[in-house]
């Protein structure tokens, strides 16, 4: 065989995948085994889409895509046209073949027509695979280009534009909208196919039955408006379902991101109910959508039953002969119409969805960019910034957050920004960074200024510690890296990490303490050698001694010659700054040196005097620090994030049974029996209908034509009724399965221990609640239904062919053996390819989400290119997995027509011989011809459906995994606990030992102490000393191995978790807020009156702020509380805790992000309003623990000493 022929056959049958198929026979394939995608499909840094005008109407934009990618789409539509032509030739050949069988013709001619007839099926099957290949490849290119455009736009997105959308909505543009738009080439091909086939079949009907076709076609075209109405219903219900699904996923995302708060306040049952309500609304919309799909399917079948009945009935009434050739030609023609006409409403629905998705993407791409948010006029020589009468705005605010700002910052100057909570300190930094909208005044900034930004909430990416420090920059020498690490006080921390700089940092820095995260941010800023650095109170998360070292080594050491702009709540170091800016109520009230402000500003002096008596808090240096990092049980020692779970090999039978059990519902056996019987009847009725026509055509002398057609029409009605009832029952059971699996997973995840959330990225869990649940909700029920119907169709076809032509057994069984081997070779790699394709998508979306959360930091460091290159890597890997997945499908689907063609040729030739030998009537010969021609399609469709089920069952695998997670330990009964427990709040620790896993060291080593009821206890100690672990043990996030903890005499091990956690209240270090209103964030489940809420706000000093807001308590809270300052968020969390009226309140660095005045006010609330409440307070300000009755110092998991706060002060002095 010549090289040309080999190359041609290889291209025709996609033989480039043979290596992967062969490899899968001996091993479970991995991502490294996949062939690389062709260079033309690789994501490039210069996508083609910018060639299209983005401001076009969505539909025009979609058609512009065809022009941009025509080089590949031209081939796709050519193969589509050739396949269409072969499909339209088939009815003509059927008419010729059966006409020859019904009359005296030579056998040789019959066989030639039969072979040509069967060969058309082969050409159609192979041609369609090349059409799918080119359209899928084009879709892949469109997806890659859109993803890159979306990511690039997000890097330029202004904070004002970013504030208008939730992170999840923006990620949906990439995960959902881009995929929908990329389907447009296939949608267009399907619409063209439907249109051309409908018109061609109409013409052919007139050719074969003349004007008898007119009434049938009139009915057919009258059904078109109905399909359009159904399409509108599709769109309506799909939008409703998508809206509810987005609401559900957004809520679950918030729950997962604030899982500690959910568990602290024992909200599991409440949030489950909240999610369940939205879920039921979603499933209600899904049920309506599915009903519309069922109606569409019935109209699909009506074409081949009732419309055909009308055509044949009119033909008989006109006195025309109804012979076997006419009957089976009409059957063939109407069967050609069934699929395009039946799917017409779905095509229009998909087109509408593509238009809507295009409009959403266009809207996002037109959002304001950061370049348009700031002026870049050059300031006077020697100055870095000059602001004259400038007002800054945030996002959608109509009032300026800063107004009438006059400010000059000289090159190399150190500037401190101070003021009360909510004064606008962070907003001023954003303004100087160019992140705020300017409405008036002149803003001048050095255009060549290279800066770094350290936010109040450290930005940490899920990568190695080294990459978090360098942000992808390789310029720093090892010596300078060590110098920056030393200046940032990270030396010891890195030595203690399992793999040093190579240690993986978990999502949001979960395995680092608050202080460590900020020091990583500071080291990152130092490494790029900036000309200006913006610090938004990062030192509030470190202890005072560390703060002093950082000031000496970094702020006034390594950075001594550059411009430093620092927001701070600590006023002890103000004398070192060249300029101090005092902000209040969004205005600069005073600026100058400390001496000048003390002399000239009464407002500043009032603010400053309140802090003069706390200078001694620095004496607490050796005893305090930030909170500890989460410790995760992980055997890799250098990784915090577990690899995504992936089963290998054949999907276990238990997974199938798990879904089938859910599908069966409560009356499992009865419902599954009904599903089976319904599928059998629905599959048998079309055969009965066609068999009756064949029987009539062979016995026309014995049966009146009109009577025969009435029976045919009656069977047709039964076909529609059985199909409708069968589909409705599958729908009902499928929705029940989705409801059951979602409920079980939600409960399992909410009961999971905290270690699970520390080692599992939120994005991965959300994939289970979005993409995997979507597979169960929408696809699996129909796939099981289709597979059942397809297997029954294949079985019925085989029985029919073998019953009529028994000798065909010799051909069919070897052909089926080849088919069996082919499907085995296909399913092995296809199953793993689908799994790997699903897994490869998550990192792309997770990176996009992570990028959106750190835009100001990324832009300040000018690391957009690095983040874009990281995205390219993830996109390239994802595209390679997707390419392998659909190419395996093409490899299999291009071979199946050959197997089916062998059966068809043998059957057709056998029928011709049998009719010529008078062993078979022409009508029955026509019937088995029709069924043999569709046999290959049924075989192909059956394996495709089964492979699809296998691939989607991997979703059930993951859902099953997440539905059986280890639960937190708990006691179910509370009968032994007094009704009003705890009544006093007395806590006693007796020799408590705890560790995070059996193979890990002790984190608490025999801790013993007692806290009398109503006493206030401060807890201090260095990082890793065990302070925060005390709280985790108290809440039973970590179960103790030895010893006991008693609350009012009751051992906490014997208390049900819900009762225990509802008896405590906590203000965590990291404030967690939900989308909603101020009121819903304070009292999420409306358990308190408005009077109580306002009282709680008064105690925390937020009452005045909230009353000045136009909407008061109903003021919206953006995602993660983005429209509130860090201090305001912390105070809201305190207000939330105060509402509980618990006898024990824990405060974990709760005042680290508030100014001294607010801290003092909170201490006053503790003294006056919580005097009978037991309080445990982790702190690093002496002022915070000054009024405590005792202070516990922790060191190395043990109680170092217990003293009065006054004794500590005296000792330290």
pLDDT in tens, 1153-1211: 566 666 777 777 777 778 888 999 887 666 677 778 899 988 888 999 898 876 665 33
Average pLDDT over residues 747-764: 86
pLDDT of residue 1010: 93
pLDDT of residue 891: 94
- Give the pLDDT band of residue 396 (cuts 50, 70, 90): low
Give Cα separations from 983 to 486, 977, 987, 1060 (angstroms): 50, 11, 12, 13
**Closest C-alpha to 1033, from 1082, 957, 974, 969:** 969
pLDDT, one tens digit per residue, over 659-672 is 888 876 777 777 77
Residue with more model confidence, 164 or 691:
691
Question: Is there a shared CATH topology between the 3-44+53-367+652-962 domain and the 987-1212 domain?
Answer: no
Average pLDDT over residues 277-304: 83
pLDDT of residue 610: 67
User: Could you tell me which residues come within 8 angstroms of residue 472 by beta carbon, excluding any fewer than 6 positions away?
Assistant: 863, 866, 867, 869, 870
Q: Which residues of 531-570 are buried (b: 16+ CB within 10 A; e: fewer)?
A: bbbbbbbbbbbbbbbbbbbbbebbbeebbeebbbbbbbbb
pLDDT of residue 304: 73
* Under 8 Å between Cβ of 327 and 693: yes
H-run or E-run covering 653:
helix 653-664
pLDDT of residue 1176: 92
Q: Which H, E and C letters describe 678-697, residue by residue?
A: HHHHHHHHHHHHHHHHHHHH
Collapsing DSSP states into helix, strand and coil, what is residue 408? Answer: strand
Q: What is the DSSP letter of 375?
A: -
Average pLDDT over residues 802-823: 89
pLDDT, one tens digit per residue, over 1033-1058 is 999 988 899 999 999 999 998 888 88
How many whole angstroms from its chain centre is CA 640? 21
Residue with more model confidence, 165 or 155:
155
CATH code of 3-44+53-367+652-962, in short, is 1.20.1560.10
- Give the pLDDT band of residue 675 (cuts 50, 70, 90): confident
- Give the pLDDT band of residue 373 (cuts 50, 70, 90): very low
Question: Can you read off the two tokens belonging to residue 114?
Answer: 């039969």
pLDDT, one tens digit per residue, over 792-811 is 888 888 888 889 899 888 98
* Under 8 Å between Cβ of 170 and 852: yes
- Give the pLDDT band of residue 785 (cuts 50, 70, 90): confident
State the Cα–Cα distance between residues 1098 and 1087, nearest whole angstrom.
18
pLDDT, one tens digit per residue, over 1126-1147 is 778 888 888 888 888 889 999 8
- Give the pLDDT band of residue 1213 (cuts 50, 70, 90): very low
**Closest C-alpha to 198, from 84, 312, 114, 102:** 84
Average pLDDT over residues 264-270: 87
**Mean pLDDT for all residues in the chain:** 84
| DSSP string covering 343-355 | THHHHHHHHHHHH
pLDDT, one tens digit per residue, over 909-918 is 999 999 888 8
Collapsing DSSP states into helix, strand and coil, what is residue 389? Answer: strand
State the Cα–Cα distance between residues 1190 and 1019, nearest whole angstrom.
9
pLDDT, one tens digit per residue, over 1016-1036 is 999 988 767 888 889 989 999
Class of domain 449-571 as given by CATH? alpha beta
pLDDT of residue 47: 62
pLDDT of residue 649: 59
Q: What is the phi/psi pair of residue 973, to 5°?
A: -105, 145
Report the share of the chain in percent with pLDDT over 90. 24
User: Could you tell me which residues come within 8 angstroms of residue 1190 by beta carbon, excluding any fewer than 6 positions away?
Assistant: 1011, 1015, 1017, 1018, 1202, 1203, 1204, 1205
Residue with more model confidence, 445 or 228:
445
Question: Can you read off the two tokens belonging to residue 1122?
Answer: 């983005």
pLDDT of residue 166: 73
First to last CA, the chain: 96
**Domains of the chain, residue spans:** 3-44+53-367+652-962, 377-412+420-446+578-610, 449-571, 987-1212
Rounded to whole angstroms, the maximal C-alpha distance in the chain is: 121
Angle, vertex CA 953, rays to CA 952 and CA 955, nearest 5: 70
**Closest C-alpha to 1006, from 962, 1063, 1044, 1047:** 1044
Angle, vertex CA 574, rays to CA 571 and CA 575, nearest 5: 135
pLDDT, one tens digit per residue, over 28-60 is 898 899 998 888 887 776 566 666 677 788 899
Is the confidence at residue 1120, as pLDDT, over 80? no
Report the share of the chain in percent with pLDDT over 70. 92
Angle, vertex CA 1028, rays to CA 1025 and CA 1031, nearest 5: 130
Average pLDDT over residues 703-720: 89
Q: What is the phi/psi pair of residue 385, to 5°?
A: -140, 140
Q: What is the phi/psi pair of residue 580, to 5°?
A: -120, 130
pLDDT of residue 321: 84
* Under 8 Å between Cβ of 390 and 373: no
State the Cα–Cα distance between residues 174 and 1020, nearest whole angstrom.
46
pLDDT of residue 342: 66
* Under 8 Å between Cβ of 79 and 128: yes
pLDDT of residue 20: 94
Is the confidence at residue 499, as pLDDT, over 90? no
Least confident piece of the model among 74-88, 367-381, 819-833:
367-381
The verdict on whether omega for the bond into residue 779 sits within 30 degrees of 0, i.e. cis, is no
State the Cα–Cα distance between residues 447 and 574, nearest whole angstrom.
29
- Give the pLDDT band of residue 646 (cuts 50, 70, 90): low
Residue with more model confidence, 421 or 533:
533
Average pLDDT over residues 897-912: 90
Least confident piece of the model among 161-175, 567-581, 734-748:
161-175
CATH of 987-1212, one of 3.40.50.300, 2.60.200.20, 3.10.20.30, 3.30.1370.10: 3.40.50.300
State the Cα–Cα distance between residues 578 and 384, nearest whole angstrom.
14
Is the confidence at residue 78, as pLDDT, over 90? yes
- Give the pLDDT band of residue 629 (cuts 50, 70, 90): very low
Residue with more model confidence, 506 or 677:
677
Average pLDDT over residues 690-714: 88
Side-chain half-sphere of 648: how many Cα atoms within 13 Å? Answer: 6
């Amino acid at each position: 065989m010549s090289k040309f022929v080999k190359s041609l056959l290889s291209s025709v049958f996609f033989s480039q995948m043979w290596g992967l198929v062969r490899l899968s026979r001996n091993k479970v394939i991995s991502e490294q085994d996949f062939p690389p995608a062709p260079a033309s499909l690789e994501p490039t840094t210069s996508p083609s889409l910018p060639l299209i005008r983005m401001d076009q109407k969505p539909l025009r934009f979609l058609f512009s895509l065809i022009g941009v990618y025509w080089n590949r789409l031209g081939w796709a539509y050519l193969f589509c046209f050739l396949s269409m032509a072969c499909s339209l030739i088939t009815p003509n050949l059927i008419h010729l073949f059966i006409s020859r069988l019904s009359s005296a013709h030579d056998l040789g001619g019959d066989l030639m027509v039969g072979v040509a007839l069967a060969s058309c099926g082969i050409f159609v099957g192979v041609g369609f695979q090349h059409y799918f290949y080119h359209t899928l490849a084009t879709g892949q290119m469109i997806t890659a280009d859109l993803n890159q455009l979306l990511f690039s736009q997000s890097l330029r997105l202004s904070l004002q534009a970013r504030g208008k959308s939730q992170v999840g909505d923006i990620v949906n543009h990439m995960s959902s909208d881009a995929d929908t738009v990329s389907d447009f080439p296939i949608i267009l091909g399907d619409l063209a196919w439907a249109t051309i086939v409908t018109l061609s079949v109409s013409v052919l009907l007139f050719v074969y039955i003349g004007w008898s076709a007119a009434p049938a076609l009139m009915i057919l075209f009258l059904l078109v408006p109905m399909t359009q109405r159904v399409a509108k219903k599709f769109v309506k219900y799909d939008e409703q379902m998508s809206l509810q699904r987005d609401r559900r996923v957004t809520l679950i995302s918030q729950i997962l991101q604030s899982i500690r708060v959910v568990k602290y306040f024992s909200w599991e049952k409440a949030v489950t109910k909240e999610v369940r309500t939205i879920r039921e609304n979603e499933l209600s919309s899904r049920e309506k959508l599915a009903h519309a799909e069922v109606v569409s399917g019935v109209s699909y079948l009506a074409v081949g039953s009732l419309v055909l009945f009308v055509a044949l009935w009119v033909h008989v009434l006109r006195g025309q002969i109804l012979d076997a050739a006419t009957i089976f030609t009409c059957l063939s023609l109407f069967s050609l119409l069934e699929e395009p006409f039946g799917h017409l409403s779905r095509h229009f629905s998909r087109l509408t969805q593509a238009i809507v998705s295009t409009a959403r993407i266009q809207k996002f791409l037109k959002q304001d960019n950061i370049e348009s948010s700031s002026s870049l006029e050059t300031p006077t020589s020697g100055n870095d910034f000059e602001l004259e009468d400038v007002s800054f705005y945030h996002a959608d605010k109509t009032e300026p957050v800063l107004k009438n700002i006059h400010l000059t910052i000289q090159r190399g100057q150190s500037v401190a920004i101070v003021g009360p909570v909510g004064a606008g300190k962070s907003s001023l930094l954003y303004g100087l960074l160019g992140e705020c909208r300017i409405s008036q005044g002149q803003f001048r900034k050095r255009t060549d200024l290279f800066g770094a930004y350290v936010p109040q909430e450290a930005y940490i990416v899920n990568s190695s510690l080294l990459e978090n420090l360098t942000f992808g920059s390789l310029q720093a020498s090892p010596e300078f890296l060590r110098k920056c690490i030393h200046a940032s006080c990270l030396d010891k921390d890195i030595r203690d990490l399992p793999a040093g700089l190579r240690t993986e940092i978990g999502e949001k820095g979960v395995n680092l303490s608050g202080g460590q995260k900020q020091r990583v941010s500071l080291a990152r800023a130092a490494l790029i050698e900036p000309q200006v650095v913006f610090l938004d109170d990062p030192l509030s998360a470190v202890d005072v001694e560390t703060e002093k070292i950082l000031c000496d080594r970094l702020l006034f050491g390594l950075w001594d010659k550059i411009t430093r702009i620092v927001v701070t709540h600590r006023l002890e170091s103000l004398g070192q700054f060249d300029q101090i800016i005092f902000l209040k109520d969004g205005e600069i009230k005073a600026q100058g040196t400390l001496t000048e402000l003390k002399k000239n500003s009464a407002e500043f002096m009032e603010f400053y005097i309140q802090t003069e008596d706390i200078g001694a808090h620095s004496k607490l240096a050796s005893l305090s620090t930030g909170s500890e990092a989460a410790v995760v049980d992980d055997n890799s020692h250098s990784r915090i994030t577990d690899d995504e779970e992936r089963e290998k090999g054949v999907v276990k039978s238990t997974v199938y049974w798990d879904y089938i059990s859910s599908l069966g519902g409560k009356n499992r056996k009865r419902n599954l029996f009904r599903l089976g019987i319904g599928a059998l009847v629905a599959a048998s009725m079309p055969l009965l209908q066609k068999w009756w026509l064949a029987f009539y055509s062979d016995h026309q002398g014995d049966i009146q034509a009109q009577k025969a057609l009435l029976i045919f029409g009656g069977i047709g009605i039964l076909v529609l009724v059985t199909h409708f009832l069968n589909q409705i029952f599958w729908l009902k059971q499928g929705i029940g399965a989705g409801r059951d699996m979602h409920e079980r997973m939600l409960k399992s995840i909410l009961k999971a221990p905290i270690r699970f959330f520390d080692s599992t990225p939120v994005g991965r869990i959300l994939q289970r609640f979005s993409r995997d649940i979507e597979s169960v909700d929408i696809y699996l029920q129909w796939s099981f239904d289709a597979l059942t119907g397809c297997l029954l169709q294949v079985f019925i076809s085989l029985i029919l062919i073998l019953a009529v032509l028994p000798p065909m057994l010799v051909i069919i069984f070897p052909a089926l053996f080849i088919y069996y081997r082919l499907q085995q070779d296909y399913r092995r790699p296809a199953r793993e390819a689908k799994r790997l394709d699903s897994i490869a998508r998550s990192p792309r979306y997770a990176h996009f989400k992570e990028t959106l959360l750190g835009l100001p930091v990324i832009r300040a460091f000018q690391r957009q290119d690095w983040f874009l290159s990281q995205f390219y890597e993830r996109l390239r890997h994802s595209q390679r997995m997707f390419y392998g997945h659909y190419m395996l499908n093409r490899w299999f689907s291009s071979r199946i027509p050959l197997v089916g063609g062998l059966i068809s040729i043998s059957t057709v030739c056998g029928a011709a011989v049998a009719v010529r030998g008078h062993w078979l009537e022409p009508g029955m010969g026509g019937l088995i011809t029709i069924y043999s021609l569709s046999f290959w399609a049924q075989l192909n469709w059956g394996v495709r459906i089964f492979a699809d089920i296998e691939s989607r069952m991997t979703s059930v695998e993951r859902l099953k995994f997440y539905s059986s997670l280890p639960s937190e330990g708990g006691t179910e009964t509370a009968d032994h606990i007094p009704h009003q427990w705890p009544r006093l709040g007395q806590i006693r620790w007796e020799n408590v030992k705890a560790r995070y896993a059996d193979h890990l060291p002790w984190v608490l080593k025999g801790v013993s102490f007692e806290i009398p009821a109503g006493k206030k206890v401060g807890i201090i100690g260095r990082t890793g000393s065990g302070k925060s672990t005390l709280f985790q043990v108290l809440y039973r996030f970590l179960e103790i191995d030895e010893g006991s903890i008693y609350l009012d005499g009751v051992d906490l091990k014997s208390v049900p978790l819900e009762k225990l956690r509802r008896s405590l209240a906590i203000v965590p270090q990291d404030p967690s807020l939900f989308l909603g209103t101020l009121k819903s964030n304070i009292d999420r489940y409306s358990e308190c009156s408005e009077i109580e809420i306002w009282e709680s706000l008064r105690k925390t000093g937020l009452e005045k702020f909230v009353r000045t807001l136009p909407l008061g308590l109903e003021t919206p809270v953006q995602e993660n509380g983005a429209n509130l300052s860090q201090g305001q968020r912390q105070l809201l969390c305190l207000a939330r805790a105060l509402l509980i009226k618990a006898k024990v309140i824990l405060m974990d660095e709760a005042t680290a992000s508030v100014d001294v005045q607010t801290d003092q006010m909170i201490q006053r609330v503790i003294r006056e309003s919580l005097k009978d409440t037991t309080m445990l307070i982790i702190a690093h300000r002496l002022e915070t623990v000054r009024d405590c009755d005792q202070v516990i110092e922790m060191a190395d998991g043990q109680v170092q000493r217990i003293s009065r706060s006054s004794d500590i002060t005296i000792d330290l002095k």
